[in-house]
Amino acid sequence: MEHPGQDRTRGAALVTVLFVLVAVLIVAASSITAALNAEKSARNERDRHIALQAAEAALADAERDIESAEPGSARAAMFAPGSAFGFAEGCGRRNGDPGQGLCARVESPGVPAWLSAKLGDDDAGAVTYGTFTGARMPSGAGTLPAQPPRYIIELMPFARAGEDASQPPSNFYRITAVGFGTRPTTRVVLQSFYRKSTAGVR
């Protein structure tokens, strides 16, 4: 014989079980979401690191460009002590042109070239990695950068205190580079200042 109290007990037990199941489902869903977010964060950080390494490589390539341009070439003449030849307002924009990626200094209150240049665009006047040094960087597949990094070089004034005015002035350069991750939308921009070594000057 069934008693009304037993029905109420079974009903209460069922409600308790349902609450426990809902709680377990919420915890499981939270754990899955946390795991997915952690995986996404790790993937984004890995992609950013790839872009960072590419940008660092572009800075080094720009330094080689400044120091090691083919002697007697138009590119080497542009990096000669005291030379401002080839450094154009808005940066040299033609691919393969000796002045490609070389930017004249913009006086205040103008916008510096590194801020106005669209380094991520193919037609921004930036130099693609290896253009003038012959270096190569694999890109476009797997865990490689989506595309090679790029850089621009701005000419900056440099004067040493007490330096003989008859000596040709040293040139000081601001290099700005962009590196890409495995996705072209992942970008890291780095900047360095570089002074070309001159015989007898440290």
Q: Where are the domains of the chain?
A: 31-195
Q: What is the largest CA-CA distance in the chain?
A: 117
Region 172-196: what's the mean pLDDT?
93
CA distances (Å), origin 53, targets 49, 64, 100, 152: 6, 17, 23, 17
Which residue bears the tokens 């919420």?
26
Please determine, for residue 14, whether its predicted confidence score (pLDDT) is greater than 90: no
**Please, what is the average pLDDT of the chain?**
82
Q: What percent of the chain has pLDDT over 70?
A: 82
Which residue bears the tokens 């510096």?
112
Instruction: Output the pLDDT for position 202.
Output: 42
Please determine, for residue 138, whether its predicted confidence score (pLDDT) is greater than 50: yes
pLDDT (tens digit, 9 = 90+) per residue, 104-115?
888 777 788 888
Which residue bears the tokens 């380094």?
119
Which residue bears the tokens 């597949």?
141
**Other C-beta atoms lying within 10 Å of the C-beta of residue 84:** 13
26-30, 66-70, 122-126, 182-186: the lowest-pLDDT one: 122-126
**3-class secondary-structure state, position 131:** coil
pTM across the whole model: 0.74
Residue environment code for 107-142, b if the CB has 16+ CB neighbours within 10 A, otherwise e:
eeeeeebbeebebeeeebbbbbbbbbbeeebeeeee
DSSP state of 178: E
Contact residues for 3 (Cβ-Cβ < 8 A; gap 6+) = none
pLDDT (tens digit, 9 = 90+) per residue, 147-170?
999 999 999 876 666 666 666 667
When pLDDT is cut at 50, 70 and 90, the band that residue 200 belongs to is: very low
Among residues 126, 175, 130, the alpha carbon closest in space to that of 155 is found at 175
Please determine, for residue 174, whether its predicted confidence score (pLDDT) is greater than 60: yes
Region 164-179: what's the mean pLDDT?
80
Backbone phi, psi, residue 33, to 5°: -60, -45
Region 131-136: what's the mean pLDDT?
91
C-beta separation of 25 from 18 below 8 A: no
Please tell me whether the peptide bond between 145 and the residue prior to it is cis, using omega within 30 degrees of 0: no
Instruction: Output the pLDDT for position 49.
Output: 95
C-beta separation of 113 from 173 below 8 A: no
DSSP state of 105: P
